[in-house]
Amino acid sequence: MGNPAAAPPARFANGLLPALQVGPEDNDFVIADSLAISEFLAEQHPELHLWPKDRKLRALARTATAQMHSGFSEIRNTYATNFLGKYTGNIPLTESVRKEIRGMVELWNKARADTKKRLQELGEDDEGFLFGGFSIADAFFWPVLWRFRSYQLPLTGISEDGLKWTAKMWNDPTMKRQAEEYFRQAENPLSRIEKYEDIFKGNSSVEYSQFTKDWEFDWQKA
């Protein structure tokens, strides 16, 4: 089937992003939607264990991923993804956003608690990701974890294991390489979208700056 590649603009299925064209010999085979792409890759590469091997953890991981995929719209629509941006001060938080933040923190807490219990039952090691080893679930929460950093969203009520998961994500070598890629991309002026650079521009109670490459997350001080 060849190597999957990003579909050219003319091939986006119904205008949806992201889109994956599997080819080049099969130009009509375009997969749209991040969850569909993830499922396709998991089927194509079972050796990567993109979903947990245990069926119960796999079901929990799929549930969490589906919740992220279809929910938390207030957080996603209000706070644009800015991988370098750092907002400090009186960040506007509506009650509906606060409710979603609480729900997300509870989801992370439960994922880690359920996973620890299940892996103990199985006598297997826990790598510290949401459902043990790195999975599609972690990948889906990666962009929103950036929002928590960029906008200083509160982690009120997060468990110790939840904080350790955030530290695991920020300190994982693969994630660090991805973060370095964001800085590299930002050097290209074409990557700049003005309206997302400082979404609170004009709000004197919010200060905008940028994180540096050497930033590290200290879960014990969070």
CA distances to 12, 138, 184 from 17, rounded to whole Å, are 7, 20, 22
Strands 30-32 and 85-89: unpaired
* Whether the Cβ atoms of residue 69 and residue 140 lie closer than 8 Å to each other: yes
Q: Six-digit token pair at 30?
A: 């375009």
CA-angle at 172, arms to 170 and 174, nearest 5°:
110
- Each domain of the chain, given as residue ranges in start order, spans 51-221
Q: How would you write the pLDDT of the chain (222 residues) with one tens digit per residue? A: 344 444 444 444 455 556 666 666 656 678 888 899 999 999 999 999 999 999 999 999 999 999 999 999 999 999 998 899 999 999 999 999 999 999 999 999 999 999 999 999 999 999 999 999 999 999 999 999 999 999 999 999 999 999 999 999 999 999 999 999 999 998 988 888 888 889 999 999 999 999 999 898 887 777
Count of CA atoms in the C-beta half-sphere (13 A) of 36: 13
Count of CA atoms in the C-beta half-sphere (13 A) of 194: 0
Rg (CA), the chain: 19
C-alpha 186/C-alpha 59 separation (Å) is 37
C-alpha 17/C-alpha 137 separation (Å) is 19
Please choose, from the candidates 180, 140, 149, the residue with its C-alpha nearest in 3D space to the C-alpha of residue 167: 149
- Which amino acid is residue 48, in one-letter code? L
| pLDDT for 140 | 96
* Whether the Cβ atoms of residue 158 and residue 109 lie closer than 8 Å to each other: yes
Render 144-179 in DSSP notation, one character per residue.
HHHHHHHTT---TT--HHHHHHHHHHHH-HHHHHHH
In this structure, how many other beta carbons lie within 10 angstroms of the beta carbon of residue 193?
A: 9
Q: Note the helical H segments in the chain.
A: 34-44, 55-70, 73-78, 95-122, 136-150, 160-171, 173-186, 194-197
Please choose, from the candidates 218, 181, 206, the residue with its C-alpha nearest in 3D space to the C-alpha of residue 83: 181
| pLDDT for 192 | 82
Question: Which residue has 């609170």 as its token pair?
Answer: 200
| pLDDT for 17 | 56
Q: Six-digit token pair at 140?
A: 């889906």
| pLDDT for 27 | 63
